[in-house]
Amino acid sequence: MSARQCKNCGGADIDIDQARGSAVCTACGSVLEDNIIVSEVQFVENSGGGASAIGQFVSADGPAKAPVLGSGFHTSLGKESRAQTLQNGKRQIHSLGSQLQLNQHCLDTAFNFFKMVVSKHLTRGRKMAHVIAACLYLVCRTEGTPHMLLDLSDLLQVNVYILGKTFLLLARELCINAPAVGKVVFYFTHCRGAGSFNK
């Protein structure tokens, strides 16, 4: 019940349902208010990996103030999350790239590949270390450095075929034509990875 007055019949017997956010005149049955207002803001994860707010803040003083949260909220939170992913990726690229003794140009190119991967949402369902290694190997192939996928596999202690699968996917999705390695290098990598080099 409330001290409000019905606009239609002038009755003062108003039933307010907090759970539904409605106010109904019990004398004439007019719905005076039907906006659902919640006292808390909930967050849900969207398909892009960001977070969106459900509902919005409403001032206790009335509807005069603009809502604090709206469509811009999930955008800024998504940008923050993406920036953090890029920062972590850059750090890991520099760490792994320095172990391979790659120059700054190669590291910058690998980071550019990584940014493209993140923008195309190709990191979903894949380990970050595998994606970073694949980006670095893309650079090794395009720049013609003497590194093999097996070098990255040894550094990360990851099966070379898992890295190879990620590398091929990224090369295809990013439309990067990585030059083929020589037959001897390919044979050595393939056979050594399969454990049949002496055959």
Q: Using one digit for the tens of pLDDT, what is the confidence trace for 142-171?
A: 888 888 989 999 999 999 999 999 999 999
Name the residue with higher pLDDT: 44 or 137: 137
**Distance spanning both ends of the chain, measured CA to CA:** 89
CA–CA distance from 67 to each of 41, 64, 71, 95 (Å)? 12, 9, 10, 44
Whole-model pTM? 0.52
What 8-state DSSP symbol labels residue 179? P
Q: Is pLDDT above 90 for 82?
A: no
Mean per-residue pLDDT over the chain, rounded: 74
Q: Is pLDDT above 60 for 37?
A: no
Q: Is pLDDT above 70 for 77?
A: no
Mean pLDDT calculated for residue range 116-138: 90
Backbone region of residue 109 per phi and psi (left: phi > 0; alpha: psi in -120 to 50; beta: other values): alpha
Q: How confident is the model at residue 186 (pLDDT cuts 50, 70, 90)?
A: very low
pLDDT of 193: 46
Give the range with max mean pLDDT: 21-25, 39-43, 63-67.
Answer: 21-25
Name the residue with higher pLDDT: 48 or 138: 138
* 40-52 confidence digits (pLDDT tens): 556 666 666 666 6
Burial of 64 (0-12, 13-18, 19+ CB in 10 A): exposed
Beta-bridge partner residues of 44:
52
Distance CA 130, CA 155 (A): 11
CA–CA distance from 105 to each of 94, 114, 121, 138, 177 (Å)? 11, 14, 24, 13, 19
**Structural domains in the chain?**
1-38 (2.20.25.10), 86-194 (1.10.472.10)
